[in-house]
């Protein structure tokens, strides 16, 4: 696919994004909520997407160490509803494909990128090194090697909503050969890190624009970014094809860093709706 930097100008798409979640807590429970459109897309917001909480509780906002917008609150006992909706201007281009990009030697990487070479909670690159080098050492370096990893994960893992769990790791996904987009992404990240390619986890909205039906129920989506050349670039091993309308919410080492809600006590998700249209 050709690079789209010089694509002809066109009116931007307007994508309505949002969510409506309900959680139940048996007692007052502190929470961190990470559900707003990422600050890197703030300039594209035609309508802001403030977090709405029912019943109303005090909110305190902060930006975490990865640059993600977060809110702190204490959920009351009973039902808590979290809602948000925004309108995003999007250029309507597919994810860029840049096969000329090369991998940087570790010694030449920026200091703030090195963190994304290390093993993490869900990406046990230290346990997958032998497999990665035996399979991908012969792949073209740079973009071609990351794409070879995505091809492997896409072909090796079967997508199944019912065959994952909140604690499933990259190694477990490799062994079970099934999972959801989160699992595809963890495995691809771990294999990239084994090959000394920095990779970071992303979560956000992904529309069905230009995707033929039937469409599955909308959900938040996971993909990753690999550091090639002088910057970060999108890869999506679950879909393994460039898509339109990818809107970031949060980035981190793996899913543990970008949980949509983190409860410091028991909570049960009772309903869940997401849209990007």
Confidence label for 2 from pLDDT (cuts 50, 70 and 90): very low
Q: What is the mean pLDDT of residues 211-239?
A: 93
Q: What is the mean pLDDT of residues 143-159?
A: 98
In degrees, to the nearest 5, what angle opens at C-alpha 24 toward C-alphas 21 and 26? Answer: 160
What pLDDT, on a 0 to 100 scale, did the predictor assign at position 1?
35
Q: Pairing relation of β-strands 261-263 and 268-276?
A: unpaired
What pLDDT, on a 0 to 100 scale, did the predictor assign at position 161?
82
- Side-chain-facing half-sphere of 104: CA atoms under 13 Å: 18
> How many whole angstroms separate alpha carbon 110 and alpha carbon 114?
7
Question: What b-and-e string marks burial along 248-263, b requiring 16 or more CB atoms within 10 Å of the CB?
Answer: bbbbbbbbebbebbeb
pLDDT, tens digit (0-9, with 9 covering 90-100), for 233-268 = 999 999 999 999 999 999 999 999 999 999 999 999
Q: Give the containing element (helix H, strand E) for 146.
A: helix 143-156
Which domains are assigned to the chain?
13-92+261-276 (2.60.40.2250), 106-256 (3.10.620.30)
Q: Give the containing element (helix H, strand E) for 175.
A: helix 170-176
**Residue pointed to by tokens 């840049």:** 98
Across the strands, what pairs with 90?
13
pLDDT, tens digit (0-9, with 9 covering 90-100), for 107-117 = 999 999 999 99
Backbone angles phi, psi at 273, to 5 degrees: -135, 140
Q: Percentage of the chain surpassing pLDDT 90?
A: 90
Q: Choose among 133, 137, 142, 254: nearest CA to 189.
A: 254
Contact, 220 vs 143, CB < 8 A?
Answer: no
> How many whole angstroms separate alpha carbon 201 and alpha carbon 51?
23
Q: What is the mean pLDDT of the chain?
A: 94
């Amino acid at each position: 696919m050709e690079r789209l930097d010089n694509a002809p100008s066109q009116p931007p798409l307007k994508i309505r994004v949002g969510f409506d979640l309900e959680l139940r807590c048996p007692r007052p429970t502190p929470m961190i909520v990470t559900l707003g459109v990422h600050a890197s897309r703030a300039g594209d917001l035609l309508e802001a997407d403030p977090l709405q909480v029912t019943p109303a509780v005090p909110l305190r906002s902060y930006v975490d160490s990865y640059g993600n917008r977060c809110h702190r609150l204490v959920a009351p006992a009973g039902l808590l509803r979290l809602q948000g909706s925004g309108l995003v201007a999007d250029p309507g281009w597919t994810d860029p494909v840049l096969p000329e990009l090369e991998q940087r030697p570790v010694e030449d990487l920026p200091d703030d990128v090195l963190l994304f070479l290390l093993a993490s909670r869900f990406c046990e690159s230290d346990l997958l090194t032998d497999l990665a080098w035996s399979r991908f050492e012969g792949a073209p370096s740079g973009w071609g090697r990351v794409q070879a990893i995505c091809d492997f994960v896409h072909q090796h893992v079967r997508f199944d909503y019912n065959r994952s769990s909140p604690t499933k790791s990259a190694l477990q996904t490799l062994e079970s050969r099934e999972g959801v987009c989160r699992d595809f992404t963890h495995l691809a990240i771990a294999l990239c890190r084994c090959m000394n390619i920095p990779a970071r986890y992303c979560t956000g909205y992904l529309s069905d624009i230009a995707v033929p039906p039937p469409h599955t129920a909308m959900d938040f989506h996971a993909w990753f970014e690999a550091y090639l050349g002088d910057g970060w670039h999108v890869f999506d091993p679950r879909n393994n094809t460039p898509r339109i309308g990818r809107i970031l919410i949060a980035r981190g080492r793996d899913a543990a860093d970008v949980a949509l809600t983190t409860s410091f006590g028991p909570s049960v998700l009772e309903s869940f709706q997401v849209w990007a249209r």
